[in-house]
Amino acid sequence: RNGAGAMPHHRRALFSAPPFFEGECVMPRRLDRVNELLRTEISQLLARQIKDPRLSGVITVTRVSASNDLRTARVYISVMGDAETKRTALDGIQSAASFLRRELRGRVTMRHTPFLTFDLDESMEEADQILRLMDSLTPNDPESRRHDGLLGPAAHTPGGG
């Protein structure tokens, strides 16, 4: 049943939802595969095709989160530099969103190429801040922890303080 204009069976299974999912939602494993495919392709496009001077720094596509119907996708990027560098890079990528979508259309076989929106991924900075806070709460000297009561009453010597 592979007519002149029909997709081969193996491609149809990868890129089109089964009939009972039509228009409703995407299976989670498939959505994960699509998100990873989009992340890889957008990363390659940013590295090789975009010549915007605002994107001259180190930019990493950390993750992509496509909607269940695969019509939109939020792309999270990490940019090395200060707040101004990050904002400038985000503006540059957002201005290239329609170009990126057009290029994706030729690279990935999907029924609908998703509309892309971009956000800064602050998770690395947040994780670094949490680790710094944890380091500041944990003294390096075990003696000072014992006297501060951080190790609990079992750590105190009898009769000592």
Buried b (16+ CB within 10 A) or exposed e, 6-28: eeeeeeeeebebeeeeeeeebee
Contacts of 24 by beta carbon, 8 Å cutoff, 6+ apart: 68, 69
pLDDT at 58: 82
CA distance 66 to 102: 17
pLDDT at 153: 53
Q: What is the mean pLDDT of residues 118-138?
A: 84
Q: What is the pLDDT of residues 29-42, one digit of tens each?
A: 889 999 999 999 99
Task: Name the DSSP letter for residue 75.
Answer: E
* 146: confidence class by pLDDT, cuts 50, 70, 90: low
Q: What is the pLDDT of residues 62-120, one digit of tens each?
A: 999 999 999 999 999 998 888 888 899 899 999 989 999 999 998 888 888 999 999 99
Do the beta carbons of residue 35 and residue 66 sit within 8 Å? yes
CA distance 63 to 53: 23
The total of other beta-carbon atoms located within 10 Å of residue 132's CB is 10
